[in-house]
Structure 1
Amino acid sequence: MVKKYPAVSAEYQKAVEKAKRKLRGLIADKKCAPLMLRLAWHSAGTFDVKTKTGGPFGTMKLEAELEHAANNGLDIAVRLLEPIKQQFPILSYADFYQLAGVVAVEVTGGPEIPFHPGREDKPKPPPEGRLPNATLGSDHLRVVFGELLSGEKEGLLQLPSDKALLSDTVFRPLVDKYAADEDAFFADYTEAHLRLSELGFAEA
């Protein structure tokens, strides 16, 4: 799918770059990269391809979404991020939370994920139960991510459950492939992360 990204002002783009620097310091200092990555993923993973609702649009700041069982502990991420967010009122929460996920990957030595600003905040959270349930096994994971990332190459690595990845006949060869070839993993991960972070955003 071709994306048509919205134009943002020079002031907005400058705020993105400044916020990125602040986020690097926070994430490195607090050693909270996994938490920030989880926040970004859970924010985006609620997108429903049929109804075009949910997704990475800032609703994780709302108490109703933080109370979803799958989001247990993400209130910590929201609280850690809020002092930086207050310094950049021009930024949407939608962009800010996804930017935190991008920076989390960078801080831990991962690939540089492209970031396109312009997401708008939505006023209502998605219904509970849209995130994949790792306890349901690999078939469930393939169905969920097959829908979310439709159009992607088959086999992009997802990490909701290491157990499912290692025990599944489809996932296991990918685990072995990526363990042996970091460049291949980084390339495919970058593509998957970008697609996940832009679900429902900038659709042409």
Structure 2
Amino acid sequence: MTRIKFKNSAAFYDVDGTLIRINIVHAFAYYAARQASLADAARTWGTTAASLPLFWAADKISRKWFNELFYRLYEGMSEDRLVTLSEELFEDVIKPNIYPHAFDLIAESRRAGCRQVIISGALDFILKPLAEYLEVDDLIANRLEFHDGYATGKLEKPFVGGATKSEIMRRFARANDIDLTQSWAYSDSFSDFPMLAVVGRPTAVNPDFRLRAVARSYDWPVLHLD
């Protein structure tokens, strides 16, 4: 049987909850537990615990607001240390939590001729080892701002997440001659509805309750990668 090839198409993947079981909180916890001193680690954990109600409320209102608040926790961390520990983070935390069928999903769209693109609100240095391991073509992720080698707690523009993903995908498509009507997008979260709606072939993967309902109403495919 001849496999259909989709020229000038791409497959866009969210990461947290879609390709892996964990999220940005687990990554930060790994860094927080490996601060240079016990006092730094305790201070970081204390700040995180005190902020949990605010994070919960922010995530319910806006994924952009949540990420901006959450990444302030990285303020003062060394860029060298963050990048150096990213490989250990991948091996110890991320790699064991990749959904088993994530490989099959990526392999299938690669065989169909799609350009493989990760687009995620997680941080670029955290996702780089995963992108290399999965052999995707492009990585679009949030970037921390650094000053004199230390994180300011702010994100560089453009912010990646929620509604902004769709505009980033449009710009990427124009720059790379990608036809979005012939492209795929995969996500687990209702917050990524704009990302899914901008392509011709959206798919809900391990969907939350709201996305499952939307997928059912629009007759989108639903996949479970575990």
TM-score (norm 1): 0.30
* Structure holding more helix per residue: 1
Q: Looking at CA atoms only, which structure, 1 or 2, has the larger radius of gyration?
A: 2
* Structure holding more strand per residue: 2
TM-score (norm 2): 0.28
- Higher relative contact order structure (alpha carbons within 8 Å, sequence separation ≥ 6): 1
